[in-house]
Amino acid sequence: MNKSLLACLALGLILILTTAASAQEDGYPACTESELLILLSSLLDYVAADRSAVDTVAVLADRAGAHLEQRDSSVSLLPLCGTAIVTQRRVLAMHGDAFAGAALERAGLSRSANPYFARDLVDEMGINRALEDLLAAAEKGDPPDERGDIRPCMRADNDVLNALAAEFLDIDLSPDARRDAIIAQIDRVLAWRDKTMARLPECAEAIELGFLLSKATTDAAALLAFRYADVPEGDNPYAQVVSRTRENLPTWRADLMIIQPRYKGATVLALGPPSELPACHKTLVRTTYRLLTRKVIAVVRTVLNAETAADLAAYEQAHLELLESSLAPLPLCAEVFEFNWLARRMLADSAAWAASKVLGYEVERNPFGRHLKASGDAMLAWIDKADAILEDDNRTVPQALEAQQAPECRSGEILQVIGYQSPDFRAFVSAGRAMDDVYGLFEQSFALRDQLWQELPRCREALEIGLLMHQIAGDWIAMLTFEIAEADSGGNSPYLEQVKRGIKRYEALSDGLSRGSPRAATTYYVTANPYANIRSCASTSCGIVTTARHGEALSVVDDSSDWYELQLDDGETGYIAGFLMSETRP
């Protein structure tokens, strides 16, 4: 079976290379040629996966559990474009469908009664459908030079997403001893999955929910299939993931109305314009420039010239002292924050490069060479920017230090850190502790640090915890490479202690953010006709900040008094008389 599929995929590769890429896929950006090749690679991984025949359901359950452990990492790096989004949803489902269909077969269910075979979801049938879509996309021709952005979800879209999430939570997955009842349950879940994928709006937040619901419904049906095969709940590989999804979905729904879109190119409408860092005064830029030339470059030069493990150990101490004494106190204004970020990156990348050099890697073959070059290029660009600032006699920036600090984060910006950046960082830490794939961890560190730079809100609390996550991700790689190079052969690893302190501080900052995050919102509708006033406080004597039309949905965070507290679209708080609202649409 796999040989024929590999041949089909090889033909697909030729077609993608000789034609161009997919055209615009309705509301999502078109896929480029390189993006389609990435997709093809993910399908090749699916075909290459070990799904050979097994004698027992127990072995099948073990394989399914192993797949679940690495499923999200295999999808997280795939592109976000029209054909890719649809294909990713299918790939997320194909593995689970294959395991579930096989579990029903091992339990003695005939193929004619097996809902997975009836739906053509197993092995060649599922992969061929995904391949057909991919080849059709490749034949459409070049995408436009200027691809459209992924639009943010509007209120009507969010209503659909909330409804779909609620429907999944209402699906009955309670155990049933009757085997025909279990098959009927599986049928209902798979039918709901098919219907749901077609109902998803084409906007930013729908991408995440589409992936989530594709996994959730696949896992729910597989949970039932392994129950049919008499796998105990404690050994059922899908029991925990289904339970976790059901716990997390209500939080996702509560955050939906106020969290910023994550996807590049999406315009932030729900929160108004994002926070911006204030410019740094010329004096501060000059001081930072001196810090670079007199300290940072000098420390980096010592490690790049390292020849022995003892040289590495000396650098380790100098690196950490520089962080504590010179980089930690720097303010959060635009140019200095950028320098602080780049300096930490260059110091960590230099450590990894030097450790590889001590281990015997030639310069041209050093696995960290390209990352160090990228760090150096970024710092050179910063130097050019600093030179231009210092030569600009017309630059006017307040000199007071308090005027050169980042603004406080608004509620939606805090939610973005809690909901997106923190889980990615925690996943990195978990991978670092597991140490299953050292070189994969290296790449995960570089990807995480790049992602943080691109996506962190530019406000005080987000940058403080983001700078710490960036630092830990870099120190972890330095620590591992130094350990491999035996730079800490005495048993004392300053990098290890630094990472431990960093994680402890991260947990404290993360707890503080969570305590300060906004409450879950309930959707209410305006019953006043034609509109209702929204005020700045809970009294008719307070000023009117905006109005809401009859039938408009509003996010209520507190309905315990006569005046309901609202979370407005710009992240601010408003109040409306409770008698003008209803939980049902008028």
- The 10s digit of each residue's pLDDT in 420-476 is 788 889 989 998 988 877 878 888 899 899 889 988 888 888 999 999 999 999 999
What is residue 25's DSSP assignment?
B
Structure tokens at 293: 């030339």
Lowest mean pLDDT of 2-16, 19-33, 139-153, 212-226, name the range. 2-16
| 576: β partners | 564
What is residue 459's DSSP assignment?
S
Average pLDDT over residues 44-65: 70
Average pLDDT over residues 250-271: 41
pLDDT in tens, 59-78: 888 888 888 877 765 555 56
Average pLDDT over residues 269-276: 43
Whether residue 332 has pLDDT greater than 50: yes
Whether residue 90 has pLDDT greater than 50: yes
Lowest mean pLDDT of 184-198, 245-259, 426-440, name the range. 245-259
Whether residue 26 has pLDDT greater than 50: no
Lowest mean pLDDT of 89-103, 258-272, 359-373, 546-560, name the range. 258-272
pLDDT value, residue 6: 41
Structure tokens at 315: 């650098």
Structure tokens at 163: 């409804």
Lowest mean pLDDT of 156-170, 246-260, 307-321, name the range. 246-260
CA angle 299, 463, 260 (to 5 degrees): 140
Whether residue 12 has pLDDT greater than 60: no
pLDDT value, residue 272: 35
In whole angstroms, give the CA distance from residue 209 to residue 164.
Answer: 9
Whether residue 586 has pLDDT greater than 90: no
DSSP per position, 470-492: HHHHHHHHHHHHHHHTTTTTTS-
**Class of domain 522-582 as given by CATH:** mainly beta
Whether residue 44 has pLDDT greater than 50: yes
Q: Which residue has the higher pLDDT, 21 or 75?
A: 75
Whether residue 419 has pLDDT greater than 80: no
pLDDT value, residue 93: 82
pLDDT value, residue 43: 64
Q: Is 562 exposed, middle or buried (0-12, 13-18, 19+ CB in 10 A)?
A: exposed
Whether residue 89 has pLDDT greater than 90: no
pLDDT band at 528 (very low <50, low <70, confident <90, very high): confident
Q: Closest Cα partner for 553 from 163, 231, 241?
A: 163
Average pLDDT over residues 301-315: 89
Whether residue 355 has pLDDT greater than 80: yes
Whether residue 224 has pLDDT greater than 90: yes
What are the strands of the beta sheet with 573-577, ordered from one edge? 544-549, 531-535, 573-577, 563-567, 553-558, 522-526, 581-582
pLDDT value, residue 337: 93
pLDDT value, residue 98: 84
Average pLDDT over residues 407-416: 77
pLDDT value, residue 188: 92
Structure tokens at 526: 């305006």
pLDDT band at 339 (very low <50, low <70, confident <90, very high): very high
Lowest mean pLDDT of 174-188, 345-359, 362-376, 503-517, name the range. 503-517
Average pLDDT over residues 95-113: 88
Alpha-carbon distances of 452 from 334, 358, 534, rounded to whole Å: 16, 30, 36
Average pLDDT over residues 561-575: 78
Average pLDDT over residues 81-99: 79
pLDDT value, residue 270: 29
Contacts of residue 347, Cβ cutoff 8 Å, sequence gap at least 6: 296, 299, 300, 319, 322, 323, 474
Q: Which residue has the higher pLDDT, 54 or 60?
A: 60
pLDDT value, residue 470: 96
With tokens 């073990």, the residue in question is: 62
Q: Which residue has the higher pLDDT, 44 or 426?
A: 426
The residue ranges of every structural domain in the chain are 2-142+150-255, 282-516, 522-582
Q: Phi first, then psi: what are they for 56, rounded to 5°?
A: -125, 155
Lowest mean pLDDT of 4-8, 319-323, 445-449, 503-507, name the range. 4-8
pLDDT in tens, 534-562: 988 887 778 888 888 888 888 887 777 77
Whether residue 19 has pLDDT greater than 60: no
Contacts of residue 243, Cβ cutoff 8 Å, sequence gap at least 6: none
Q: Which residue has the higher pLDDT, 383 or 438?
A: 383
Whether residue 260 has pLDDT greater than 60: no
Whether residue 491 has pLDDT greater than 70: no
Whether residue 111 has pLDDT greater than 50: yes
pLDDT value, residue 73: 59
Q: pTM of the prediction?
A: 0.47
Share of the chain above pLDDT 70, in %: 76
Contact between 579 and 561 (Cβ < 8 Å): no
H/E run at residue 566: strand 563-567
Average pLDDT over residues 83-108: 83
